[in-house]
Chains A and B, each alone.
Chain A
């Protein structure tokens, strides 16, 4: 049977991994290639790289890193950050990305989803959305969660799937950083509307949070987190063993 997936997320700025980096026993604690190698050996099922730089120069640095990772690590790689055009898709796919994640780029230009799905296939197009409750409704936020777009998030995601998004990353702003568990209510609401794989993001604080996610919300396919993995607050190998012991199918 197909497994649930555990996905560490690496935010890369100026060639370095930022956000919650506190590794022990690694020579260079924020070197993305080193970290990717370590995660690969730790049993990560997939890696997500977000390019959080702005300048063109840094973008070149990011693609160099991506190429290095992809030439050494043979698990699926998803790349996001600053993706808005087919040229952006092309640039990261040529460096070895398997999937490309669009977020703000799709809000500015919704046509990018169908254009990319037609050119590269739906399996390549991941729609990532930052979502927050406003007056009891799930709203889509832009600019890293700072700006309410006024678009209802569930409609946005359902339309994205219709247009060819092959996977969804659901980031809950309400639970992000709180480490009290994933936003299960939001994830259930998305699963009720969308039949493509769903990656839960935001809120994981401990192994129990993943158990609750996968055992009681079977429509969710993967759990994504950054700092709890980077700091080894949760060790991926331990987590996968724990989940398997609790009846969740895991690749070990």
Chain B
């Protein structure tokens, strides 16, 4: 059973559908017992960091998630990945879950090509730095994934699994122990994304 954490941020229909399309059972929940019973946990998220972190904290699930990640694989997606880090500088300075060392910063300040637009919206190729990681069991270097974001994780070289080039290498996928994250949306990345979710579900 894969549990999707429901903390009132974003639309979970596509994510749940993509997991179901792989023939896997999925539950959308904010119940601690159900999260503890899950084999895998997905932490989604869209919108602003501070708002999402406040909502997640309000569910009381933060300690449960921290505890579960010791033995259950967790995948944070998009803003859900950003929440895994120590802190974010999106409209102020905000503390994250601190599960992966690093920080989330504005993309606009670091891009070196002024013609590039923010948000970084669209399909970008994966430069996989850790091809032997099981997350990429079914995904090849250079496959395209779908991004939509204005902030990105940095100072996290030790946990980076893949990047995508946008005048700078933008952090695309990370891992620290059983805690995984993707800045891109696997549930919107066509067949490539489904294969990545399948590999995650097999961890």
**Complexed CA–CA distance, A93 and B188 (Å):** 14
State which of B13, B122, B189 has its C-beta within 8 Å of the C-beta of A96.
B13
Q: A96-B11, A98-B14, A123-B148 are in contact. Are A45 and B123 (CB under 8 A)?
A: yes
Any chain A CB within 8 A of the CB of B110?
Answer: no
Q: A1-B165, A74-B187, A95-B13 are in contact. Are A195 and B124 (CB under 8 A)?
A: no
Residue in A2, A40, A94, A122 whose Cβ sees the most chain B Cβ within 10 Å = A2
State which of B21, B122, B144, B164 has its C-beta within 8 Å of the C-beta of A74.
B21
Cβ–Cβ < 8 Å partners of A123 in chain B = 46, 119, 121, 148-150
Any chain B CB within 8 A of the CB of A76?
Answer: yes
**Complexed CA–CA distance, A232 and B1 (Å):** 42
Cβ–Cβ < 8 Å partners of B13 in chain A = 67, 70-71, 94-96
Cβ–Cβ < 8 Å partners of A120 in chain B = 46-47
Q: Which residue of A lies closest to B164 (CB)?
A: A2
Q: Which residue of A lies closest to B108 (CB)?
A: A195
**Complexed CA–CA distance, A252 and B146 (Å):** 13
**Complexed CA–CA distance, A2 and B111 (Å):** 13
State which of A122, A124, A219, A221 has its C-beta within 8 Å of the C-beta of B122.
A221
B194 adjacent to A74 (CB under 8 Å): yes
B115 adjacent to A74 (CB under 8 Å): no
> Could you give, for residues 60-83 of chain B, a 1 whenever the CB lies within 8 Å of some chain A CB and a 0 otherwise?
000000000000000000000000
Contact size range, B: 35 or more
Q: A5-B122, A122-B119 are in contact. Are A251 and B144 (CB under 8 A)?
A: yes
State which of B11, B115, B122 has its C-beta within 8 Å of the C-beta of A197.
B122
Q: Closest CB of chain A to B182's CB: distance in Å? A: 14
The A-contacting residues of B in range 98-126, CB under 8 angstroms, are: 115-117, 119-125
Cβ–Cβ < 8 Å partners of A74 in chain B = 14, 17-18, 21, 187-191, 193-194
Q: Which residue of B lies closest to A73 (CB)?
A: B190
State which of A1, A67, A70, A75 has its C-beta within 8 Å of the C-beta of B166.
A1
**Complexed CA–CA distance, A93 and B10 (Å):** 9
A75 adjacent to B47 (CB under 8 Å): no
Any chain A CB within 8 A of the CB of B24?
Answer: no
> Could you give, for residues 142-160 of chain B, a 1 whenever the CB lies within 8 Å of some chain A CB and a 0 otherwise?
0010111110000000000
Q: Which residue of A lies closest to B149 (CB)?
A: A123
Q: Can you report 19 A-B residue pairs in the complex whose CB atoms are below 8 A from each other?
A: A1-B124, A1-B165, A2-B123, A2-B147, A5-B123, A45-B123, A71-B13, A74-B189, A75-B189, A76-B188, A94-B11, A94-B13, A95-B13, A96-B14, A98-B11, A120-B47, A123-B149, A123-B150, A196-B119
Using CB atoms and an 8 Å cutoff, list the residues of chain A in contact with chain B: 1-3, 5, 40, 45, 67, 70-72, 74-76, 93-96, 98, 120-124, 166-167, 195-197, 218-219, 221-222, 251
| Among all A-B residue pairs, the 5 with the closest Cβ atoms | A251-B144, A71-B17, A96-B13, A251-B123, A123-B148
Using CB atoms and an 8 Å cutoff, list the residues of chain B in contact with chain A: 11, 13-14, 17-18, 20-21, 46-48, 115-117, 119-125, 144, 146-150, 164-166, 187-191, 193-194
Known A5-B122, A72-B17, A123-B150; further 9 A-B contacts with Cβ < 8 A: A2-B164, A70-B13, A71-B21, A74-B188, A94-B11, A123-B148, A166-B121, A167-B121, A197-B122
